Amino acid sequence: MTAPLPLSGIRIIEPGQVWALPYAISPLALYGAEVIKVESAVRPDSSRGSPQPDSQVGDQPWNDGGMYHEANRNKSGISLDLNTDRGKELFKEMVSVSDVVAQNFPPRVMRNFGLDYPNLRKVKPDIVVLDSTAYGSSGPWENYIGYGSSLQAVTGLTYLTGYEDGGPVQGGILFNDTLGALNATYAILLALAHRERTGQGQWIDLSQYEAGVAHLGEAFMEFEINGVAPTRRGNSHPDHAPYGVYRCTGDDAWVSITVTSDAEWANFVRTAGEPWASNRDWETVAGRLAQREALDAAISDWVETRDKHEVMHLLQAGGVACGAVYNTREIATDPHHADRGSFSISEHREPVGPRPHSAPLFGLTGVDRPPDRLAPRFGEFNHQIFCDLLGKSEQEYVELMEQQVISDIPANPGVTPPPNVEGLLRMGFLAEHDLDYKAKLGI
C-alpha cells in the first residue's frame, strides 16, 4: 500500500500569478497538498500566454503556455470573479474549509476585496495567509509596481553585475521571483508547523525585495562589517585566482575555472601537466593575485584549443572546480540529468504533445516519488470545487456560469503572438534555433 504524501490533507487556495507565487506553491502541490488555483475570466494567469508549442497558436492557446505548465502542475484550477459579491462569498466558503491562502497581488488588492488576513481569520481563525508582495505590506513602497527587473535593481544585484569598466547589467533570469518563491515555500511550512503545535493561524508578510537583499551574500556583509561597498568585477574575484570564464574551441564555448587555495592550484598544475603552470610565482595566492592577468592569459591559451567538456572532466578528475558553460539546450540534454531522472515526460493534449518537465528537486526517504499531474486547464475544476466541495446544486452552478461569476474560457486569452524566429536570430535575441530539438529531447 502506498503511504500518503507528507502534505496530504492540507488544502491551499492560490490566487497567484505568473512565477513568484505559483512556483512557491508547486512543491507543496507535488508532495500532496490540494492546491486550488484561482483565476478569473477577466484576469487569467498571464503566464498562460507564455511561449506556445513550436511557436504555433492552437485552438486553446491559454491552456498551452509553457511557463504556466511548469509552475502549475499537480494543482486544481477554478475561475472566480472576485469583483462580484457572489465571487467574494464563494472565496470565503473555500477559506472556511482550507488551511492556507497564498497570493502575490499588491497589498491593496486583497484589502479592497475585503479578503485580507483580518477578514479571512474571521471566516477561519486558524487560517494561514501568505502575502508575497514586491515590497511588503507596509512602508512607503508597499504599492510600488514590482517586476523582476526593478526588484533586481533595488536589491543591489544589478549594480554588482557587469564588467569592471562598464555599467550595471540586468541578469538574464529574474532571480528575485525565485528567491521570493523559495522563501514563501518554507514560510508556509513553518506556519503550518506553528499551527499544528499551537492551534494558531498565521499571517506571513513576505517582501520579495527583502528576500533579494538577504541573498546578496558577501557583498552586503562587506558594507555591514567593513563599510566597503563592492562594485562590478566581471568574472574575477578579489581573493581567488584563477577565477574566471575562459573561451574554448567551438562556437560560443566556455568553461568556468575556480581555484580557492594553494592546494587546489597544485592540483591544477599536476592535472594540466604544462610547463607554464609550474611558474614558482604562482604557487601562492598572493603571487597569483599579483599576476592575475598573465595567469588568465596562460589559461586562456591552454583551453582555447580544447573542448569545454574535455576541460571540465579533466580538471574535475584532478580535484579542480570546473564547469562547462551550458546553454539551455545542453542543460535539457545533459546525460547527468538523464541518469538522475531530473526531467520527466508529461503527455499533454495536442498541439503540445509529450514534453519534458523538471522532476522533484529532492527525494524523501520512505516517500514514493509523487505522481505528476498536468497543470489545470482554465476553469477545469469548477464543477468539482463548487459542487462537490462546497455543495452547490447543479442549478446554482448553471446560474454562476450564466452570471459569469465563474467561467471556463478567459475573456482575454492574453497570448503573445508567435515570434519571428529568424528575425530574433538576426537581432541577437536568440543564440540558435535547433530544428531537431524534439529528437534530442526524446519526444
pLDDT score of 425 = 85
pLDDT on residue 424: 82
In this structure, are 258 and 317 located in the same domain? Answer: yes
Residues 100 and 164 in one domain: yes
Q: Do 109 and 174 sit in the same domain of this protein?
A: yes
Q: What is the pLDDT of residues 179-238, one digit of tens each?
A: 889 999 999 999 999 999 999 999 999 999 999 888 888 888 888 899 988 888 899 999
Query: Which parts of 353-406 fold into alpha helices (H)?
Result: 382-383, 394-402
Q: Is the pLDDT of residue 389 over 60?
A: yes
pLDDT in tens, 350-380: 888 898 888 877 888 888 777 789 999 999 9
Quickly state the pLDDT bin for 259 (edges 50, 70, 90): very high
Cell output for 399? 446560474
Question: Is pLDDT of 417 > 70?
Answer: no
- What CATH number is given to the structural domain containing 324? 3.30.1540.10
Q: Residue 2 has what pLDDT?
A: 60
The pLDDT of residue 110 is 94
Q: How many domains does the chain have?
A: 2
Model confidence at 51: pLDDT above 60: yes
3-state secondary structure of 166: coil
Query: By the 8 A CB rule, do 49 and 413 touch?
Result: yes
- For the cut 90, the answer to whether the pLDDT of residue 124 exceeds it is yes
Give percent of the chain with pLDDT exceeding 70: 98
How confident is the prediction for the chain on average, in pLDDT? 91
Q: Is residue 369 part of a domain?
A: yes
Identify the CA nearest to 199 among candidates 96, 94, 99, 95.
Answer: 99
Single out the residue in 332, 355, 386 at which a domain terminates.
332
Contacts of 107 (CB under 8 A, 6+ apart): 131, 133, 136, 137, 138, 142, 143
Is the per-residue pLDDT at 252 higher than 70?
yes
| Three-state DSSP state, 253 | coil
Domain membership of residue 292 as a residue range: 243-332
pLDDT 10s digits, 323-343: 999 998 999 999 998 898 888
Q: Which of 32-36, 56-60, 253-257 has the lowest mean pLDDT?
A: 56-60
Mark whether 268 and 294 lie in a shared domain: yes
**Does 118 lie in the same domain as 61?**
yes
> What's the first-to-final CA gap in the chain, in angstroms?
32
Residue 288 lies in a domain: yes
pLDDT at 418: 67
Q: Considering the entire predicted model, what is its pTM?
A: 0.90
Q: Quick one: 177 and 194 in the same domain?
A: yes
Asked if the structure places residue 122 within a domain, the reply is yes
Question: Same domain, yes or no, for 66 and 180?
Answer: yes
Residue with the bigger pLDDT between 60 and 124: it is 124
Q: Are residues 129 and 262 in the same domain?
A: no
Q: How far apart are CA 361 and CA 23, in angstroms?
A: 13
145 and 77 in a single domain? The answer is yes
**Residue 394 located in a structural domain:** yes
Query: Could you tell me if 90 and 185 lie in one domain?
Result: yes
The predicted model gives 426-439 an average pLDDT of 86
In this structure, are residues 133 and 206 in contact, taking their beta carbons and an 8 Å threshold?
yes
d(CA 254, CA 261): 23
Q: Of 332, 351, 376, which one is at a domain's C-terminal end?
A: 332
> Above 80 in pLDDT, residue 412?
no
**pLDDT > 90? residue 49:** no
The percentage of the chain sitting over the pLDDT mark of 90, rounded to a whole number, equals: 62
Any domain includes 4: no
Can you tell me the distance from the alpha carbon of 103 to that of 131, in angstroms, rounded to the nearest whole number? 5
Q: Report pLDDT for 416.
A: 65
Distances (CA, A) of 132 to 15, 100, 203, 405: 11, 13, 11, 26
Same domain (yes/no): 269, 311? yes
Q: Is residue 150 part of a domain?
A: yes
Domain with residue 353: its CATH number is 3.40.50.10540
Which own/partner pairs from 106-114 qualify as long-range (CB within 8 Å, at least 24 positions apart)?
Answer: 106/133, 106/134, 106/142, 106/143, 106/145, 106/146, 107/131, 107/133, 107/136, 107/137, 107/138, 107/142, 107/143, 108/143, 113/82, 113/88, 114/88
- Of 300, 332, 364, which residue constitutes the final position of a domain? 332
Q: Is residue 267 part of a domain?
A: yes
pLDDT at site 414? 66
The closest of 116, 54, 123 to 93, measured between CA atoms, is: 123
- Does a structural domain hold residue 220? no
> Residue 146: its pLDDT value, please?
83
**pLDDT score at 350:** 84
Q: Is the pLDDT of residue 116 over 70?
A: yes
In this predicted model, what pLDDT tens digit does every residue of 275-297 receive, in sequence order?
999 999 999 999 999 999 999 99
Residues 398 and 356 occupy one common structural domain = yes
Residue 6 has pLDDT above 60, yes or no: yes
